[in-house]
């Protein structure tokens, strides 16, 4: 195998900490009331789904301490 002659193929990454831009990014737009309400509704829906699945799944996960009832066949004829 042959080696490259340059020490780092992406030398601009090492120089990134020295680079300063004079262009400021635009300010972030604030979320509207509808977007905030939609995010809250989505979060509540997810939480309600998790709680509902937990409530419905707990009986299946519980260990029953009573032995199952077995039916005995009658020997009377």
d(CA 47, CA 11): 47
Return the DSSP state at 16. Answer: G
Tell me the per-residue pLDDT of 15-74, one tens digit each, with 9 for 90 and over: 555 566 778 888 989 999 999 999 999 999 999 999 999 999 888 888 776 666 677 766
Q: How confident is the model at residue 8 (pLDDT cuts 50, 70, 90)?
A: low
CA distances from 38 to 34, 41, 45, 51, 73 (A): 6, 5, 10, 20, 61
**What is the 3-state composition of the chain as percent helix, strand, coil, each rounded to the nearest 5?**
45, 0, 55
**Phi first, then psi: what are they for 38, rounded to 5°?**
-65, -40
Place of tokens 């780092």: 8
Q: How confident is the model at residue 7 (pLDDT cuts 50, 70, 90)?
A: low
Provide the pLDDT for residue 34: 96
């Amino acid at each position: 195998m042959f080696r490259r002659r340059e020490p780092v193929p992406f030398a601009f990454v090492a120089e990134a900490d020295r680079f300063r831009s004079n262009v400021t990014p635009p300010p972030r737009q604030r979320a509207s009331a509808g977007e905030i309400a939609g995010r809250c509704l989505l979060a509540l829906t997810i939480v309600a789904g998790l709680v509902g699945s937990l409530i419905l799944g707990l009986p299946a996960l519980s260990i029953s301490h009573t032995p199952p009832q077995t039916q005995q066949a009658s020997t009377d004829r």
